[in-house]
Amino acid sequence: MSNLSDAISKSVSNVPECLAAGVVDVASGLLLDIKTVDSHPSMVIDMLAAATSDLFQGPNVVAIENMFKKSRGIENNDRYFEEIIVNSKNLLHVFIRARLNPDYVVCFVCRRTVNLGMALTKARAAMPEIEASI
């Protein structure tokens, strides 16, 4: 089992055009660790955990998840949304919920010029090592 900081650093190196990656505990709203290769305003980093929690567990998101599960006959309490991709003017944000513990979400931030398929494939490939380190 590797160190979380090392696993995140390795993922930043392996995901193409990745500028930062961080692990958020959406249940508590805490940022567990983050690695960046660029400077990011501290206010943005401070708000990452809260924004990620809202993105995956905000009341409207939970309501939509419950509607989808009901319409598809799914009766478990598992989370429905597993990945969310956000494009901003200059960046691509890939949010992936951990499979072993869905309270953990990893956010990868890449330049917008990245090939989306490659970024997503490499981000998914990084998840087992990150999850094992949490």
Averaged pLDDT of the chain: 91
Give me the CATH number covering residue 45: 3.30.450.30
Question: In terms of pLDDT, which residue wins out, 27 or 41?
Answer: 27
Model confidence, pTM: 0.90
Distance CA 9, CA 5 (A): 6
pLDDT at 98: 96
Q: Is the pLDDT of residue 1 over 60?
A: no
* Residue 93 pLDDT class (50, 70, 90 cuts): very high
The number of folded domains in the chain is: 1
Q: What residues make up the domain containing 57?
A: 4-133
Average pLDDT, integer, range 83-103: 95
CA distances from residue 13 to 19, 106, 108 in whole angstroms, order as listed:
9, 15, 11
Cα angle 16-47-69, degrees, rounded to a multiple of 5: 75
Phi, psi at 72, each rounded to 5°: -100, 5
